[in-house]
Structure 1
């Protein structure tokens, strides 16, 4: 779609003062999908030259905001760890064409903050943190679960840039489980639940997204019982935080989230904990 209110596109490598009507441009798959009458200038990140994925000295993984879904998918398919399948599963949750995969970015999906955003699900499920950089050079880091505040609502200040997402060193060794539900075939996620079991200490994390206005991550030092898991979810998610739109009513989303969470609990815990 033509954005006929945009008067200029600036290379982000050239520092200029941020002004009203500016927006960061990553892949542009959202920006160019619908009218953006409030925008006057796009600040293009495509030539920043950030490595899409990079290992840190402590073993953590940094995913650049400009990393495309195609790049993330390729990385996941070659990753020799137990968490590797989750990367491809979340990439496939886009249900988008290869054209979108080649342009859409991890950072863009996070900054949209939509409940069905699969990069939100992936990074929250693996206990990721976002790295934010302000116009004054100040930086912040926070969990993905705190960055997304609601449907399309983020803790992102004026002109602030989401630079990268970091996954902790132990995340690559998680045993994971993935469940997704939609009202119809090849439809937008109505509920997406991820389980992550840490073999180092036996802890279990269950992350609920798409069904809720923001991602919820439930961590248990020991695998919970079915009743404990259900109580944790119902105790944390307020009635108004079950998402309501054309892709599913709140009651259906809650039902599916609880059902999928229990399936994941059974898959990732031993017989003794069932």
Structure 2
């Protein structure tokens, strides 16, 4: 898609450069996916040279400009990372261009980087035009289909993950073998026995259900009822009732797997 209203590209870009009519440019796979007549200038972030992944004593920092290919090469030994990368069902060309931050900011229900960050308790580091920063949980960053908590001119700088990756179980469903994710669930079991179930793709925003221990089938089912019919996505990739059914079906599989 050509953005024919764009008259200038600023490279490299920084938070203080933003002005009305600008858009932050990462990999561009989402930005160039549809007409955006309100955009007149692009602020190029990859050329800023942010380290893709920084390992610290207290965890990992994944730059918003980190590509899916780099994420897979660096952290793909973790099953949940590899599974979420493969959930793109994209060619190597997309893997080498699409960014982790772009997938979050597009806020599509099927965004697997949203699933990964929410399931691992990630935090989004956001920068505003004045250089100030704030932190928002990945699970709360996306508020609906195509909607995030980003304010005008604010950008996603990075996603911070904990140092210890918990034991996980992954389930993904689609109407077609190579179709867009219609249901994507990740269960996580911490060392202290706490259990979380993250529901994405089926719902308009991430849902993270937390338990002190692996719940009973009845307890898990009761928690899932908090997700109402209107919370499920209704589009060509699946009817809400089918998504809700598959969510419950996969949730029980995950509960069983992590209780062993």
TM-score when scaled to structure 2? 0.97
Decide which of 247, 263, 274 is 2:237's aligned counterpart: 247
Decide which of 201, 204, 227 is 1:213's aligned counterpart: 204
Which whole-Å CA distance do the structure 2 matches of 1:15 and 1:219 have between them?
35
Shift of 1:76: 2.1
Helix, strand or coil at the partner of 1:127? coil
Counterpart mapping for 1:125-204 below 5 A:
125-170=119-164, 172=165, 174-198=166-190, 200-204=191-195
> CA contact under 8 A between 2:16 and 2:130: conserved in structure 1?
no
Which whole-Å CA distance do the structure 1 matches of 2:230 and 2:14 have between them?
43
Compute the RMSD of aligned alpha carbons.
Answer: 1.2
Tell me the equivalent position of 1:51.
Answer: 51
Q: Which structure 2 residue ranges, 5 or more long, are not aligned? A: none
Shift of 1:238: 2.4
Q: Which structure 1 residue ranges, 5 or more long, are not aligned? A: none
Shift of 1:219: 1.2
- C-alpha distance after superposition, 1:162-181 (max 9, x if no partner): 000011123x2x11111000
- C-alpha distance after superposition, 1:6-40 (max 9, x if no partner): 00000144675422210000001111222211110
- C-alpha distance after superposition, 1:27-70 (max 9, x if no partner): 01111222211110000001111111111232x11110000000
**Change in 2 beyond 3 A, CA 1:93/1:4:** same
Which whole-Å CA distance do the structure 2 matches of 1:43 and 1:268 have between them?
44
- C-alpha distance after superposition, 1:139-195 (max 9, x if no partner): 11011111111111100000101000011123x2x1111100001110000000001
Which whole-Å CA distance do the structure 2 matches of 1:46 and 1:155 have between them?
22
Helix, strand or coil at the partner of 2:109? coil
Which whole-Å CA distance do the structure 2 matches of 1:210 and 1:249 have between them?
12
> CA contact under 8 A between 2:15 and 2:154: conserved in structure 1?
no
Helix, strand or coil at the partner of 2:153? coil
Runs of 4+ with >3 A deviation: 12-17
Tell me the equivalent position of 1:264.
Answer: 254
> How many residues are treated as equivalent by the alignment?
260
TM-score when scaled to structure 1? 0.92
Counterpart mapping for 1:112-131 below 5 A:
112-131=106-125
Helix, strand or coil at the partner of 2:225? helix
Which whole-Å CA distance do the structure 2 matches of 1:220 and 1:109 have between them?
28
